[in-house]
Structure 1
């Protein structure tokens, strides 16, 4: 019984002393601020938002603005990604890699097709990515079958 109490108290002490991460995922190079299957553009594109004037567009969007601070553009860049019009539901976008290098940021995004049966509704998946750096961005979108 004394051994069990010793183990439980030791475990409690170790977990109580463990450092905790802040609620924001500040230890990653990026955050996905918003993503949805509809309301994107009908053609595939990405737009890098690096300047204050461009950033105002995001601040005015009622869906995205709750995730932003007015001065976020001073330390971060943003990427708006649209997959374009897709003939079915189930399409998604996955961030494969965001790597901050000495002189730039490499971003690789993968287009994921639906698995199995999918709805026949036309969708336009899109998302906004916050890159925690002001370095120039090299972006690559990997499309299946291309």
Structure 2
């Protein structure tokens, strides 16, 4: 009987420890990340990340070259609760490209975001214009020390807090 109690205790401790290492929501139950918007013309000429933690940094986005990112919706973000992350694909020669957030999880103090890269089909009719597609993702600023973003065709980007 004592063996069963010890086994049960070990399983409970292991379960609690596992929950503390991997999380898919904040302590309040909110998602770790949510896609706010996307744009074909963000102005980010190279693939990568732009981290925005306050309203002043958000205002700087209006200075991006050839960026047509609508900032009105982004100004509604409560920076006490969420920060913004722009994930850019870099410059593309046609339309039809985009990014969509697929999942988010904290693993060992690393906020891991997986994004899906959308490409035009080989026979698709697309605009013949330079684009700089990106996704704008609101993320929890707490409970992680490093941020990693990856996706097939995107590579892997990381950022320390």
What TM-score bracket applies, with the shorter chain setting the length? 0.5 to 0.7
- Deviation of 1:73 after TM superposition, in Å, equals 2.5
- Deviation of 1:131 after TM superposition, in Å, equals 0.9
Residues 3-47 of structure 1 show CA distances to partners (whole Å, capped at 9, x for unaligned) of: xxxxxxxxxxxxxxxxxxxxxxx8533222221112422221112
TM-score (norm 1): 0.62
Question: Any idea what SS the aligned residue of 2:45 has?
Answer: coil
Per the alignment, residue 20 of structure 1 pairs with none
Which structure features the higher share of strand residues? 2
Per the alignment, residue 10 of structure 1 pairs with none
Which deviates further from its counterpart, 56-65 or 74-83? 56-65
Per the alignment, residue 94 of structure 1 pairs with 100
- In structure 2, how many angstroms separate the alpha carbons of the residues matched to 1:144 and 1:65? 27
Gaps of at least 5 residues in structure 2 are 1-28, 63-68, 156-161
2:153 is aligned with 1:143: yes
User: What CA RMSD, in Å, does the superposition of the two structures yield over aligned residues?
Assistant: 2.9
8 Å contact from structure 1 (residues 43, 84) kept in 2: yes
- Deviation of 1:93 after TM superposition, in Å, equals 0.6
Gaps of at least 5 residues in structure 1 are 1-25
Runs of 4+ residues deviating >3 angstroms: 59-62, 65-70
Which deviates further from its counterpart, 96-105 or 60-69? 60-69
Residues 88-117 of structure 1 show CA distances to partners (whole Å, capped at 9, x for unaligned) of: 111111212211346231111232211231
8 Å contact from structure 1 (residues 88, 118) kept in 2: no
TM-score (norm 2): 0.58
Per the alignment, residue 47 of structure 1 pairs with 50
